[in-house]
Structure 1
């Protein structure tokens, strides 16, 4: 049942994002920023963590989950370090995911032949 919940919750998030991309004139970069900020806000008000507990990777893998991870990191760092934690908490919380994305992206560029759009 965990796989089904992850699939349908992740699918709904992706479908809503696709609708937003199709029905508005927002650029993809702005939509990505909107998703990350929305995830942080939903995490701050306590709505997103129950969704992650229910759907697992279906809620934590999309950009909304990245925003929630940033929020949790900032919250924990502020509790430990004070105001300075607001500047470093997000980096600590998301460092492993960002590093993995860079490493795997680089490895993929070595394996496959990247081409520029023309």
Structure 2
């Protein structure tokens, strides 16, 4: 089975969270077909988490769709902004989804 296009996955993610009452927006548009997806979580207490795509080697055969790793957990916002800016210089085709969420349950597959 082929992977879902990035633009469709992002649209579904944003729609699902907004329907649940979480403020979620696309803060950076990427390549519509195969752009990587990064998720920035504002915990509404001055801390931010960042989820980035997991390395392919960490995926199992039973995972369908995108799999993420927690790059930063509840750190100051500047650290996440710097990491996103660094990636933008390297790969301008990635997506950033920003969500306001007090909990750590983003509703995505995260490797341990």
Q: If the length of structure 1 is used for normalisation, what is the TM-score?
A: 0.28
> RCO higher in 1 or 2 (8 Å CA, sep ≥ 6)?
2
Larger strand share, 1 or 2: 2
